[in-house]
């Protein structure tokens, strides 16, 4: 969430920054109004507390001097003021709770360098690599859901029978390809990132810390009996690993990666392409994540974007990198880039990774701090990205590496994970 002190001291700056996202700033105005009221009521409460303490001290002195009648009168006054103080304390707590609820809904302010825009149509392409539309033959222009059925490596019909719509099942070489991609994503990042296998069921507090709640509750799976949520991404548990902790400065940047299943209800997917592996309720993904100081974060962001793009390129796939404009930024995002892969069979650019810098927005929700050299504590900055999300990369590989004489070549980078096979046939 945003820093209330920044809202208090720079309301116009914050308002102008949020306006770049094209959102209504009435909730921010309400926070400014409530914050002024809360500080006024808290001041009155503190004055009464001080007066009650002084009266208590005077009562004690009068009792020691044997002046009980006078002490009794002051005690009555002290009880009266104490009741007023409790009412003000209750009012203060109510206003604080309302401010907190509003802050949970107000999105992060965009980085000054984030491009202005109203929607994903305004996201500028930063670079394209390996793409030549004329290089693809007719045999590569077959969508992966047809190839998956032809070679028996994608069995969505039985997946739907088992779990319902928008679930997938990979079989034979398709299952091997899914597993190989996960392991490759981990191996590519093992030198820099500590591997973590976090829980995939988390509490509401954990989901709130990343900004998923309350805004995106409809898109997450809730296990009501136990009040636990299925994670939509490993970013969720990784962000909260150090919740309510102070990280040593020498430990920053602290880098972690995790391979997990991810679950999304895709509540807004009506009318969107859900064929094959393009949009599913459950999928596997390798996530990379960093805690950092504000000074380290910009360079880390660039490095993470390059790392993800190079991983896609190393698989022999064409890709492009887009920067996300202010109107398309997610709730918690300060600055963000998407990496998209080209799938020739469906003739689409498919988003396979979003690499984002959240400034201190998530850390403030999770109370994750570090000690800078100046003393005291400060909020860390968080960054994350999908190092390798299986479904759409799987789809692009199946289409790109389909052979004219039949079968699907295994990308050279994945050969070590295929038990000696070099083709899915």
Gap between the Cα atoms of 210 and 215, Å rounded: 11
- The pLDDT of residue 59: 73
User: Tokens in use for 367?
Assistant: 């109370």
- The pLDDT of residue 270: 58
Q: Is the link from the previous residue into 396 a cis peptide, with omega within 30 of 0?
A: no
Q: Could you give the maximum distance between any two Cα atoms of the chain, in Å?
A: 108
Residue 45 pLDDT level (bands cut at 50, 70, 90): confident
User: Tokens in use for 310?
Assistant: 């190079």
DSSP 253: S
Determine contact, residues 281/167, Cβ cutoff 8 Å. Answer: yes
Average pLDDT over residues 148-175: 96
Residue 268 pLDDT level (bands cut at 50, 70, 90): low
Residue 360 pLDDT level (bands cut at 50, 70, 90): very high
Indicate the CATH number of 4-105 among 3.90.1150.10, 3.30.470.10, 1.10.287.40, 1.20.140.10. 1.10.287.40
**Beta-bridge partners for 343:** 348
- The pLDDT of residue 83: 86
Question: Any idea where the domains of the chain sit in the sequence?
Answer: 4-105, 120-424
- The pLDDT of residue 70: 75
- The pLDDT of residue 75: 78
Q: Is the pLDDT of residue 126 over 90?
A: yes
Gap between the Cα atoms of 319 and 330, Å rounded: 22
Q: What is the pLDDT of residues 169-185, one digit of tens each?
A: 999 999 999 999 999 99
- The pLDDT of residue 271: 57
Q: Is the pLDDT of residue 309 over 80?
A: yes
**Among 45, 123, 126, CA closest to 83:** 45
User: Tokens in use for 365?
Assistant: 């929700």
Indicate the CATH number of 120-424 among 3.40.50.300, 3.40.50.970, 3.40.50.720, 3.30.930.10. 3.30.930.10
Average pLDDT over residues 229-244: 97
Count of H helices and E strands in the chain? 12, 16
Q: What is the mean pLDDT of the chain?
A: 94
Rounded to the nearest 10 degrees, the angle between the axes of helix 11-19 and helix 26-64 is: 150
Q: How far apart are the first and last CA of the chain?
A: 51
- The pLDDT of residue 269: 62
Alpha-carbon torsion (256, 262, 267, 272), positive or negative:
positive
DSSP 275: S
The three-class DSSP label of residue 401 is coil
Q: Count of CB atoms within 10 A of residue 206's CB?
A: 23
Q: What angle do CA 129, 325, 347 make, to 5 degrees?
A: 40
Q: Count of CB atoms within 10 A of residue 379's CB?
A: 20
- Residue labelled with tokens 């309510």: 244
What percentage of the chain exceeds 70 in pLDDT?
99
What percentage of the chain exceeds 90 in pLDDT?
82
Average pLDDT over residues 383-397: 97
- The pLDDT of residue 215: 83
Average pLDDT over residues 273-288: 93
pTM: 0.91
- The pLDDT of residue 373: 79
Q: Count of CB atoms within 10 A of residue 107's CB?
A: 20
Gap between the Cα atoms of 355 and 123, Å rounded: 14
Chain centroid, CA 144 distance in Å: 29
Stretch (H or E) spanning 303: helix 297-314
């Amino acid at each position: 969430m945003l820093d209330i002190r920044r809202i208090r001291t720079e309301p116009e700056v914050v308002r102008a920054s949020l306006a770049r996202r094209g959102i209504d700033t009435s909730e921010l105005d309400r926070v400014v109004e409530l914050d002024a009221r809360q500080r006024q009521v808290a001041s009155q409460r503190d004055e009464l507390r001080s007066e009650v303490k002084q009266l208590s001290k005077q009562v004690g002195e009068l009792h020691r001097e044997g002046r009980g009648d006078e002490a009794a009168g002051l005690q009555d006054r002290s009880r009266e003021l104490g009741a007023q103080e409790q009412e003000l304390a209750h009012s203060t707590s109510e206003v604080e709770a309302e401010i907190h609820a509003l802050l949970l809904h107000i999105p992060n302010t965009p980085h000054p360098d984030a491009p202005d825009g109203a929607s994903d149509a305004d996201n500028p392409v930063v670079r394209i690599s390996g793409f030549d539309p004329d290089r693809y033959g007719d045999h590569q222009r077959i969508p992966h859901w047809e190839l998956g059925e032809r070679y028996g490596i994608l069995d969505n019909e039985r997946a739907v029978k088992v779990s319902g719509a928008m679930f997938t099942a990979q079989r034979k070489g398709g299952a091997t390809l899914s597993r190989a991609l996960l392991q490759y994503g981990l191996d590519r990042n093992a030198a820099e990132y500590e591997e973590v296998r976090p829980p995939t069921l988390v509490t509401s507090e954990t989901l709130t810390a990343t900004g998923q709640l309350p805004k995106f509750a409809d898109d997450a799976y809730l296990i009501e009996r136990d009040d636990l949520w299925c994670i939509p991404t490993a970013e969720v548990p990784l962000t909260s690993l150090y919740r309510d902790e102070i990280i040593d400065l020498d430990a920053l940047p602290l880098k972690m990666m995790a391979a997990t299943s991810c679950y999304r209800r895709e509540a807004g997917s009506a009318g969107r392409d859900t064929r094959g592996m393009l949009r599913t309720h459950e999928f596997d993904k390798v996530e990379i994540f960093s805690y950092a100081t504000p000074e380290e974060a910009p360079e880390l962001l660039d490095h993470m974007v390059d790392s993800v793009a190079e991983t896609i390129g190393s698989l022999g796939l064409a890709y492009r990198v887009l920067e996300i404009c202010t109107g398309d930024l997610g709730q918690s995002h300060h600055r963000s880039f998407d990496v998209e892969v080209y799938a020739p069979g469906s003739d689409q650019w498919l988003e396979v990774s979003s690499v984002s810098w959240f400034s201190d927005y998530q850390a403030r929700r999770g109370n994750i701090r570090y000690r800078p050299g100046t003393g005291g504590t400060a909020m860390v900055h968080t960054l994350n990205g999908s190092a390798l999300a299986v479904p759409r990369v799987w789809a692009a590989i199946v289409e790109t590496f389909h052979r004219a004489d039949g079968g699907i070549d295994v990308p050279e980078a994945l050969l070590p994970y295929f038990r000696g096979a070099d083709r899915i046939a």
